[in-house]
Amino acid sequence: MEQAVEIASRVKSVLDAVPPGVTVIAAAKGRSLLEVEAVIEAGITHVGHNYVQEAADMIPAMQRRVTWHMIGHLQRNKVLEAIHLFDMIETLDSVRLARAINERCAPHDKAMPVLIEINSGRERSKTGVLPEKVNELAAAVAGMEHLHLEGLMTMGPRFGDPEDARPYFRATREAFERLADSDLPNITMRYLSMGMSNSYQVAIEEGANLVRIGTALFGSRAG
């Protein structure tokens, strides 16, 4: 009960801090079912998972309907499970993955909303396409009947001065604007997913309307 009260207080603080039109996604990696239920009870309507197996253990057990986002790297051998668990895949990073999602959705006559993940920091350790390559991937996605591209996502630095993340967010917004100005079919650029607990306010200043927040909602992980 005490933990739920603390979570409710954190959720209120975050929701009060974001402007209208910005959706908070609770980043639930490593969190318990009770913790996720607590943020939903406090007003969160979107939840993100980094791992398909972790989501598979949680989502069927949830009694509350929320929107589920895949926010971690998606392996092609997990696509079939992912399309049944998630309402949106935010981490599309290759034509091969796009084809796999399209093929798996086809027998179910499902169109999966996706965001292209941008490696805005050009870090070799991170997934995502470079900002200047986004239109190339988007053009491939535009021809796939069972995918619907709805925006872009980037990670940015997880720690450090939030201002250090601003150039990464700005580069992603610029890529978003270029893509929105293109005439590619089957694309509706609605969402710019950027920012985490330490940087979401800067991300919002740079145009984010989806922010993925963990610690600021749940508190630090035990241990």
Distance CA 7, CA 36 (A): 10
| Any domain includes 223 | no
Looking at the structure of the chain, the number of domains it has is 1
The CATH number of residue 53's host domain is: 3.20.20.10
Name the band, by pLDDT with cuts 50, 70 and 90, for residue 61. confident
Q: What is the pTM of this model?
A: 0.94
User: What confidence tens digit (pLDDT) does each residue in 77-113 have?
Assistant: 999 999 999 999 999 999 999 999 999 999 999 999 9
Give pLDDT tens digits for 10-53.
999 999 999 999 999 999 999 999 999 999 999 999 999 999 99
Question: Poorest-confidence range of 23-27, 155-159, 169-173, 191-195?
Answer: 155-159
Distance CA 154, CA 171 (A): 10
Cβ distance 140 to 105 under 8 Å?
A: no
Q: Is residue 84 part of a domain?
A: yes
- Cβ(210)–Cβ(25) below 8 Å: yes
Question: Would you say residue 26 lies in a domain?
Answer: yes
- Is 203 among the domain residues? yes
| Residue 98 placed within a domain | yes
Structural domain for 184, as ranges: 2-218
- Residue 72, in any domain of the structure: yes
